[in-house]
Structure 1
């Protein structure tokens, strides 16, 4: 009965999380459409400069304590209160540092407007620092419906505030208002949903192990952040801004939406895996099921996208961007491979393997740097190919690395990944063939026929018993989403 309730809570949590993320993506598109007509590219450029520093600070602001509190097998109210004050103090310290850095940032960028933007956005660290453990507690208690409502409401209210400010002629300040309103609404929302107030910090409740775990997460994230920039740096230096624009736009079309769909599922997966980590058979079942769900539901659309790269680029970006098609195809392949391996990251967090994750991140960062460097000798497409090759090399290493420190269902994961890749390959090839078959009929017709043929090819896999079993498991999970959870997840 407990297993059934947990599975149902996880399914409902996934439903609310995906629904909220879909709503946020729609709001982001609306933001682009509306604000782009009220503001200038210069306004967005100013904000982007400052958000680079904000993104780096966010790694330190959380300090890995969200994951630390969620994965902890035992977690007292006193420990929660202590982590609240640690996150709040880190947020305040980052706000002071950000404020102090505003003058050198304005001098380095040569944009005096950066000074005011940086000083005001420093407040976001205080807001997010206060909200961190409230969000973590909602995730730990599987109150994902409440969290979904807060996230969607914050995006909608902030967008409305930005539109009003931009309409009144606020210029780039409208984007600053959007950031600050988002942080404020999130803080108010999670406090109301959390229904608890922190007590004073007490040394009676030790959080040393959690802080140690968090420090390893911070170190791993910093290395990962640096590794993520290697392709951008090499392209900008070796091939110039035009090539970088092609590469970056292709990345934004594939990898950014993928992250918006995939990463929020961690809010569902991490508390579930943490709860069952002492029950190895159930833990392995959840891990393999998560891989199948991610692989099929995300991997098949990515494979079809890879097959239809040319017409989709023409539709989304225009004919002038046709050189982006092979790059986007490589990103789609990379997205499929990273999605198949994404559950490994969840295992590191759920098991509290912060130090092992840090060491593995160093290894995979070095692999990526080598791949990208070698790929750069073959031009822009070579860099994109290297980007896709990297996860193909890193994933088996990750699985072997994990298996050395914690029990892992290696055979089931390899077989599951193999089935996913085979059906994705069939769908991608069918989509490509459909597009080529009517290449003279226009990009919309190519995309439509290719999409249909890709889905037919993927569905044909159901003729095999193994795929029918996988489909049965996925359908059971979807049915759990559609029934009311036995837990009280009301706002």
Structure 2
């Protein structure tokens, strides 16, 4: 097996592991939502949402984009890694202290005294997140996705068990606070045991300025995004109170669950791989477009079904007292489709180090979203939901236009992929909702079954009449075969390496995961999603058909405007 194929297998295994792990996380999250929704009231969720909407900004600052900067860098010395950890920890500790000191002001802002101890308890999470950032980035750089996924899953399980136990004992909203703290603490313990390294003393010989510059621009864009995405919660909490906010928050979380939980693993695999492909435009384009195609189709299917059958889904997942959530979720689903369509643009900004350009775009689009949401508040919850959906729909074409101006990325194909997905799955959503419209009240499970069949039939019809969508499904099927396991000597080159991944340039750059089948961990870093996203923060290759000849294609010279040099420190640590 060649070096190209080894790296391709590592990335494929990482994607498979993270997708399976995300499936387990979604199941665990849904279980926690179902159980806790029956033990807690909308007011309990509203209290936590009121705090998180404000201190969540500080949670973005504690990372300062340094996790994504470490993942995106082509080389990273041990000394630089230690310096970055000290920086992340110091920022987290400072922000935690700030939240603790200002918690009385937060309670006064909402005129809700119970928020003060909630904010004070959550201040601990900033320190925990600050320490974890570089440990997660280290695992992600080495493509050890299985360990990362496993640790996050274990921490989440411990947090949910703790919350359920406390809620059953009558702890109310305190159970939700404990869930946040316990989950992170469990993850940190696991990371320390798996990574087995501690930071060295601060080294002046290990410059981190390029990382800080990358992270600062990324953080600026994330802060603007967070503010615009949470202004609705602030407006509802300050004008309508915790009860309506709890209802709105559950609708929003039902939207975020499939979007983030399925996107996170793709983004986390995409960022380190795309960062290695910036000097090879052919394979970069193939990996980017195939990753976009796979993610769009997987997430859209889930989102379209959930939106079409929202009343039944909400009844099963949350219970009858949350019935108001269904209509809000259907409105917010419009925003979900356009949010998902823009993920590929975010991958380009991160992998090419163009966080400054992304920040400049956010300085225009995010204030517009805030203005629209505030204006929509005069029409209540639905006015805010429609304003949020409209703002998100407007951001997508603006994002594509700006990406075309600052890079040579395949913007036209990115646009066609996204538009086709919105139209096809929008049609399937309408067909599914129409098929169950006249069913008698109370036939919840019948509605879910009929709706699923109608959705599948609508998509099958689309595949027959839309050749481009049919090619999309073939691409997803090819990736599914690739993710089943290690290729054999008889496997065609295109199937062995659908993402057309590059060979490491030096022996020291061979990922640990590529050399050791046991290496693993997961999707993470929601903070990377950059995940960096990443986190963020979840992927692979060419739209439609996958060309097996891409591995031998000569690398073209990238455009001068297309890529900003990544931080390239010296004294590289083996990846």
TM-score normalised per structure 2: 0.76
Tell me, yes or no, if the aligned pair for 1:291 and 1:341 is still in contact at 8 Å.
Answer: no
Matches within 5 A, 1:86-485: 86-105=87-106, 117-162=118-163, 175-235=176-236, 244=245, 246-313=247-314, 315-316=316-317, 324-372=325-373, 375=376, 380-436=381-437, 438=439, 442-463=443-464, 464-484=466-486
**Which stretch of the first structure deviates more once superposed, 350-359 or 362-371?**
362-371
C-alpha deviation, 1:408, in angstroms: 0.8
C-alpha deviation, 1:163, in angstroms: 5.2
User: What CA distance in whole angstroms lies between the structure 2 residues aligned with 1:288 and 1:150?
Assistant: 30
User: What CA distance in whole angstroms lies between the structure 2 residues aligned with 1:216 and 1:473?
Assistant: 34
Tell me, yes or no, if the aligned pair for 1:70 and 1:136 is still in contact at 8 Å.
Answer: yes
Please give the root-mean-square deviation of Cα atoms over the aligned residues, in Å.
3.3
C-alpha deviation, 1:472, in angstroms: 2.3
C-alpha deviation, 1:35, in angstroms: 5.5
User: What CA distance in whole angstroms lies between the structure 2 residues aligned with 1:238 and 1:114?
Assistant: 16
Q: Relative to structure 1, is the Cα distance of residues 163 and 208 closer, same or farther in structure 2, using a 3 angstrom cutoff?
A: same
Q: Deviations over 1:160-193 (max 9, x none)?
A: 4455666778776655544333222212222232
User: What CA distance in whole angstroms lies between the structure 2 residues aligned with 1:440 and 1:171?
Assistant: 32
Q: Deviations over 1:27-67 (max 9, x none)?
A: 33444455567777776666555544542221111000011
Q: Deviations over 1:83-129 (max 9, x none)?
A: 11111211222233233334555666677665555444433222221
Tell me, yes or no, if the aligned pair for 2:403 and 2:411 is still in contact at 8 Å.
Answer: no
Q: Deviations over 1:279-313 (max 9, x none)?
A: 11111111111211111111123223333345445
User: What CA distance in whole angstroms lies between the structure 1 residues aligned with 2:379 and 2:39?
Assistant: 41
Tell me, yes or no, if the aligned pair for 2:38 and 2:318 is still in contact at 8 Å.
Answer: no
Indicate the SS of the match to 1:290: helix
Match in the other structure for 2:14: 13
**Which stretch of the first structure deviates more once superposed, 82-91 or 372-381?**
372-381
Tell me, yes or no, if the aligned pair for 1:6 and 1:272 is still in contact at 8 Å.
Answer: no
Gaps of 5+ in 2: 487-512, 521-575
User: What CA distance in whole angstroms lies between the structure 2 residues aligned with 1:174 and 1:329?
Assistant: 29
Does residue 1:490 correspond to 2:519, yes or no? yes
Indicate the SS of the match to 1:213: helix
Tell me, yes or no, if the aligned pair for 2:162 and 2:178 is still in contact at 8 Å.
Answer: yes
Tell me, yes or no, if the aligned pair for 1:300 and 1:423 is still in contact at 8 Å.
Answer: no
User: What CA distance in whole angstroms lies between the structure 2 residues aligned with 1:250 and 1:331?
Assistant: 8
**Which stretch of the first structure deviates more once superposed, 203-212 or 367-376?**
367-376
Q: Which has the higher helix share?
A: 1
User: What CA distance in whole angstroms lies between the structure 2 residues aligned with 1:378 and 1:50?
Assistant: 24
Match in the other structure for 1:79: 80
User: What CA distance in whole angstroms lies between the structure 2 residues aligned with 1:74 and 1:386?
Assistant: 43
Q: Relative to structure 1, is the Cα distance of residues 8 and 385 closer, same or farther in structure 2, using a 3 angstrom cutoff?
A: farther
Gaps of 5+ in 1: none
Q: Relative to structure 1, is the Cα distance of residues 374 and 452 closer, same or farther in structure 2, using a 3 angstrom cutoff?
A: same
User: What CA distance in whole angstroms lies between the structure 1 residues aligned with 2:448 and 2:41?
Assistant: 33
Tell me, yes or no, if the aligned pair for 2:6 and 2:514 is still in contact at 8 Å.
Answer: yes
User: What CA distance in whole angstroms lies between the structure 1 residues aligned with 2:392 and 2:49?
Assistant: 28
User: What CA distance in whole angstroms lies between the structure 1 residues aligned with 2:423 and 2:46?
Assistant: 42
User: What CA distance in whole angstroms lies between the structure 1 residues aligned with 2:187 and 2:267?
Assistant: 19
Tell me, yes or no, if the aligned pair for 2:7 and 2:514 is still in contact at 8 Å.
Answer: no
Higher relative contact order (CA 8 A, sep 6+): 2
**Which stretch of the first structure deviates more once superposed, 434-443 or 151-160?**
434-443
